[in-house]
Amino acid sequence: MASSDGATTPVDHKRPRGLGSFVRSQMRNIAPFLTLIFLSAFFAISSPSFATLDNLGNILTQVSVTGVIAVGLTFVILCAEIDLSIASIANVTGIAVAFFTLQDSYVNIANLPMPGWAAILMALALCALLGLVNALGLTMIGIPSFIMTLAMMQIAAGVSALLVRGQIAYKIPPLITTLGSGSIGGIPWIVIVAAVMLLGGHLVLTYTRFGRYVYMVGGNREAAEFSGLNVKLILGSVMVISAVCSGIGGMLGVAHFGSAQQNEFDTYLLDSIAAVVVGGTSLFGGRGGIGNTIVGLFVLGVLNNGLDHVNIDSFLKILIRGVILLAALIINVYAQRLRERTAD
């Protein structure tokens, strides 16, 4: 555009962002909310027993263990990594806390009952150790997280088998029993613990330097390294965090179920990954957070609970869950492509 003196002035060709552009950029966050609203409305219409306060309490209780495990997994996925050992670590930690409490266990050479707090600390030390092995394999040796945690899944399953040897353990420390199966004021303790851990994870990711580093590593690892960030330390830390969260979830789950046995947490691997991904956290790292995980937990909780309230083939439930997970993955990948196009 020419001015009165003949000079040309630059013209801003940027168009204001419209509603369509905003929806496309926020698709990863909007889609889970729409899914949750649709599922809630559908099941509320299909079954009068679904839309009740008592059933809301059931949903919260049902997703609590998954929520605790998903906190740590959110950190891992935000770094563009994966942890396939979460369910096995949860299982071995739950078995370990019962094993260390037993009066006639191998650990108790003096055949004296171990204090509950000591059993809890030893179980937490075990899951932290397994997470540390994952961290060292990923950062020091350079094994991809998919392969490293796949191996750890088998290692933890083997430790579980050695501890229980096909038996079922029922003796659990009183503190874990209270937190896993007790309640206060009508609210289950397990729901409170899950809420506290989700809140804690959100605060760490949102308001701490470590949380910012997690997003930096997941968003652009090369740039994070050039800025002087210790990327290996961050990656190792999130693997340990994931293992510890899985261990806490495992102990609570054992108390909630009333016993510790082999393969008790196998379904929690898919549930936890689905909660994080369905909620909108990017598999490519750097996008999402605990808020997205909470939405994903509600989507899974409403779906699983709602299917129990309608007359549907039990085998079809598995198919429906898989289809919804696939849809979430497609949205996740599509949103990433839109982001790359916008950046270009």
- Beta strands 183-184 and 187-188 are antiparallel
Q: Is 52 helix (H, G, I), strand (E, B) or coil?
A: coil
Percent of residues, the chain, with pLDDT higher than 90: 52
In the chain, which stretches have pLDDT less than 50?
Answer: 1-16, 105-112
Encoding tokens for residue 150?
């796949």
Domain boundaries, the chain: 38-343
Q: Is 285 exposed, middle or buried (0-12, 13-18, 19+ CB in 10 A)?
A: buried
CATH number of 38-343: 1.10.3470
The reply to whether the predicted model has a pTM over 0.75 is yes
* Helix spans in 47-83 (H): 53-62, 64-78
pLDDT (tens digit per residue) in 151-168: 999 999 999 999 888 788
Task: Return the structure tokens found at 99.
Answer: 């094993």
Quick: pLDDT tens for 232-281.
Answer: 999 999 999 999 999 999 999 999 998 888 888 988 998 999 899 888 88
69 closest CA partner among 227, 250, 282:
250
- List, in order, residues 6 or more apart from 313 with CB less than 8 Å away: none
**Tens of pLDDT, residues 288-321:** 899 999 999 999 999 889 888 887 777 787 788 7
d(CA 169, CA 176): 14
